[in-house]
Amino acid sequence: MTTSLLEISELTKTFGGVRAVNNCTFAVPEGQVVGLIGPNGAGKSTVVDLVSGFGRPDSGTIMFAGEQLVGKSPDVISRLGLIRTFQTPREWRNLSVMDNVMLARRRFDNEGLWQCMIRARAIRREEESDRAAVREILERFQLTELKNELASRLSGGQKRLLEFARIAAAEPRLIILDEPMGGVNPVLGTRIGDAVGQFAGDGRTVIVVEHNLPFIEKTCDQVVVMDLGEVIAQGPFAGLRDNPRVVEAYLGMDLGHG
């Protein structure tokens, strides 16, 4: 029996008179890949921001693995095991690819100022296991050749892969991908789809916010549809085309082939 890893309940957020999120309620079962779709302005990105701590809801609750997330700052939420991406890749540009992924390992204990002053050599030794793991991950995403390059020198596609490498390194319980297919060519798209599949295979829970419906259809176990700030449907992708509310919201957009 799958329990809900993430439960959003009557979430509301208003920006200057506009209700971006309006009594939004849905639950994400653990271990599944759940799509979050909806037309522009549906409130998807706002929900992602609220869940990850980049913004505080006006009302409603967010439960993640039994913990209430409302009011917590992004770093605290992240430490609970939630990693999110942003609509544009946000690599740390003047750091090497290796450093970018190492940082995702989140060995916070090693980052104390005092620690690094007096135990520098020991810390470096302790880091070796992380380094080995990161090298493997870089290999998986075919970034090994670039590991000592500055992240700013990567191409757009490589930056996307770097993001996935970081996610893999972080070993989170819940991953929220905010439009991972934005501006991505089909070849890279396949690799991203494989990466998502691999995350699911590792037992992680993934939420994918996307406009690219074929991608959603391929990767997601179920889909949550939002429009005008609230959830209008939830269920397997196949059933959406028969859902009148969904069709109306998308009005004429191609909901994909069977």
Residues of this chain that interact with another protein (CB under 8 A) are 52-54, 73-75, 78-79, 83-84, 86, 90-96, 98-100, 102-104, 106-108, 110-113, 115-117, 120-121, 123-125, 127-128, 131, 135, 145-150, 152-155, 166, 170
Q: Three-state DSSP class for 150?
A: strand
The Cα-based distances of 177 to 18, 144, 205 in angstroms read 25, 23, 11
**Min separation Cβ 149 and another protein, Å:** 6
Closer of 37 and 102 to another protein (Cβ): 102
Residue closer to another protein by CB (options 128, 242) is 128
Residue whose CB is less far from another protein, 130 or 221: 130
CB of 95 to another protein, least distance (A): 5
Categorise residue 143: left if φ over 0, alpha if ψ from -120 to 50, beta otherwise: alpha
The burial class, CB within 10 Å (0-12 / 13-18 / 19+), for 160 is buried
Considering only CA atoms, which of 112, 107, 9 is closest in space to residue 51? Answer: 9
Please say which residue, 83 or 225, places its beta carbon nearer to another protein: 83
In angstroms, give the least distance from the CB of 88 to another protein. Answer: 11
For residue 7, what are the β-bridge partners?
27, 63
Minimal distance in Å, beta carbon 105 to another protein? 9
The tokens describing 203, both together, are 């037992």
Find, among 45, 59, 51, the residue nearest to 11 by Cα: 59
Q: Which of 28, 11, 39 is nearest to 173 (CA)?
A: 28
What's the closest the beta carbon of residue 13 comes to another protein, in angstroms?
A: 16
Q: Least separation, in Å, of the C-beta of 140 and another protein?
A: 16
CA distances from 124 to 28, 115, 129, 181, 218 (A): 39, 11, 10, 36, 42
Coil, helix or strand at residue 58: coil
Q: How far is the CB of 114 from another protein (least distance, A)?
A: 9
- Where are the strands (E) in 87-195, listed by range? 174-178
- Residue 134 or 249: which CB sits closer to another protein? 134
Give 35 or 53: the residue with its C-beta nearer to another protein: 53
- CA gap 163, 157 in Å, rounded: 10
| Closest CB to another protein among residues 95, 228 | 95
